């Protein structure tokens, strides 16, 4: 009886500590030691909502809210970047463990994708704050993002092939994250095109954007095929991975959006160059490719909704993975709005608007829970430190202890 009372008392104390500011951590320094790149999914989700609201300039409230979110997102991105850089400086050996971790390493792709939303925001909202400098800033950041996306798109798969341990049964849609970064940056490049005055620079951005798209979408579609097989054989993953059901929609919707914007802005760039004879053909092929991907996205959006409803028959534990509900939905909403504009079909544009409304509601639900658990310190946890994985330096292979 006394032992049971003692256990209840200890549980009450732990619960009380967990509710205090950073009560779940041994100290504030743990924020840096435990900081992981999946926090950049917060900037992805917040950024895509800001860009989505920026599609409604006729509404001062919606556009202004999007602008405020974009500014807040820049603050978040700078803060997260400082924390993650500090981890590499202060806890180098611990930070290196992510290179051998089969799931956390995938979230490195969130960094360039989060930055891409900031680049897009400069094109939408930056003029009111930086004037003509906004485009120059966006262009400079875009080239940085190109390098980051290529590094993630090549580096993480190389680590998968050489250092990490994977099985089909343990596979999840997070495999897509480092691969998708290139096509997200390609979309930003396509949006930059009409803002650039130099014809040669326009052509360079256009060709780079197509190459980025090609380095991402075909590989992502291949991964989705394997993911379908894994789900059919081994069924859905545990409830903690419930949000990952939306991740497959991300590369499909982003690939469609990139093609729509390239179809809209690319032909004029080609017409002004020696490739003018190809402008109409490439523009038409881009639009058709985008339309096919958008249609494919409908299937995954409906399937993800059904899977989500299936999971939420029971409580689903909250974690940073819940941000996976937001970015794919946001990109699909943007692709729908752009398709409606290109075809002058109000119905599709209204569908896009409805998706933006749903996006805002999901973002509110997720940000509230994120802020609450971040305050308590519960979200600062690096699985690559707690798992039975040793990586003594970045130059050595990961070894799993037995």
| Per-residue pLDDT reduced to its tens digit, 271-320 | 998 888 999 999 999 999 999 999 999 999 999 999 999 999 999 999 99
pLDDT value at 390 more than 70: no
Which residue did the predictor score with more confidence, 11 or 160? 160
Q: According to the model, what pLDDT value does residue 292 have? A: 98
pLDDT value at 257 more than 80: yes
- Whole-prediction pTM value? 0.92
Crossing angle, helix 199-214 and helix 217-234, to 10 degrees? 20
Query: What element of type H or E holds 214?
Result: helix 199-214
Contact 359, 336 (CB under 8 A): no
| Per-residue pLDDT reduced to its tens digit, 204-246 | 999 999 999 999 999 999 999 999 999 999 999 999 999 999 9
Which residue in 84, 77, 48, 106 sits closest to 325, CA to CA? Answer: 48
Confidence class for position 396, pLDDT limits 50, 70, 90 = low
Instruction: Please state, rounded to an integer, the average pLDDT across all residues of the chain.
Output: 92
CA-to-CA distance for 177 and 101, rounded, in angstroms?
14
pLDDT value at 5 more than 60: no
| Per-residue pLDDT reduced to its tens digit, 103-162 | 999 999 999 999 999 999 999 999 999 999 999 999 999 999 999 999 999 999 999 999
User: For the chain, how big is the Rg over CA atoms in Å?
Assistant: 22
Crossing angle, helix 110-125 and helix 177-192, to 10 degrees? 20
CA-to-CA distance for 108 and 104, rounded, in angstroms?
8
Contact 326, 333 (CB under 8 A): no
Contact 259, 289 (CB under 8 A): yes
How many secondary structure helices (H) and strands (E) does the chain include? 16, 2
Q: According to the model, what pLDDT value does residue 398 have? A: 44
């Amino acid at each position: 009886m006394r032992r049971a009372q003692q256990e209840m008392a200890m549980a009450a104390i732990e619960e009380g500590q967990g509710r205090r500011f950073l009560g779940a951590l041994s100290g504030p320094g743990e924020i840096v030691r435990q900081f992981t790149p999946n926090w950049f999914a917060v900037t992805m989700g917040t950024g895509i909502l800001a860009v989505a609201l920026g599609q409604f300039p006729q509404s001062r409230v919606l556009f202004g809210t999007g602008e405020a979110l974009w500014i807040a997102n820049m603050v978040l991105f700078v803060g997260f970047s400082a924390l993650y850089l500090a981890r590499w400086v202060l806890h180098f050996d611990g930070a290196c463990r992510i290179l051998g971790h089969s799931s956390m390493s995938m979230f490195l792709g969130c960094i360039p994708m989060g930055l891409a939303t900031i680049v897009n925001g400069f094109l939408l909202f930056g003029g009111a704050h930086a004037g003509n400098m906004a485009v120059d800033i966006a262009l400079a950041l875009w080239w940085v993002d190109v390098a980051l996306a290529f590094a993630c798109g090549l580096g993480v798969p190389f680590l998968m092939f050489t250092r990490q341990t994977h099985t089909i049964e343990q596979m999840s849609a997070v495999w897509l994250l480092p691969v998708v970064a290139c096509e997200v940056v390609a979309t930003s490049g396509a949006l930059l095109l009409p803002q650039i005055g130099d014809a040669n620079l326009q052509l360079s951005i256009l060709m780079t954007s197509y190459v980025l798209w090609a380095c991402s979408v075909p590989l992502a579609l291949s991964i989705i095929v394997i993911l379908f097989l894994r789900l059919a054989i081994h069924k859905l993953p545990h409830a903690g991975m419930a949000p990952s059901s939306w991740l497959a929609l991300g590369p499909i919707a982003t690939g469609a959006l990139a093609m729509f914007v390239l179809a809209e802005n690319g032909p004029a760039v080609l017409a002004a160059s020696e490739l003018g004879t190809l402008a109409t053909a490439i523009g038409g092929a881009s639009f058709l490719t985008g339309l096919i991907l958008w249609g494919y996205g409908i299937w995954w959006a409906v399937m993800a909704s059904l899977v989500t409803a299936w999971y939420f028959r029971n409580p689903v534990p909250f974690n940073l993975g819940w941000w996976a509900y937001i970015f794919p939905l946001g990109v699909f909403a943007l692709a729908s709005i752009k398709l409606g504009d290109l075809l002058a079909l109000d119905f599709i544009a209204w569908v896009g608007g409805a998706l933006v409304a749903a996006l805002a509601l999901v973002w509110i639900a997720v940000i509230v829970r994120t802020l609450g658990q971040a305050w308590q310190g519960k979200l600062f946890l690096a699985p690559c430190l707690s798992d039975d994985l040793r990586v003594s330096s970045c130059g050595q292979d990961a070894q799993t202890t037995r």
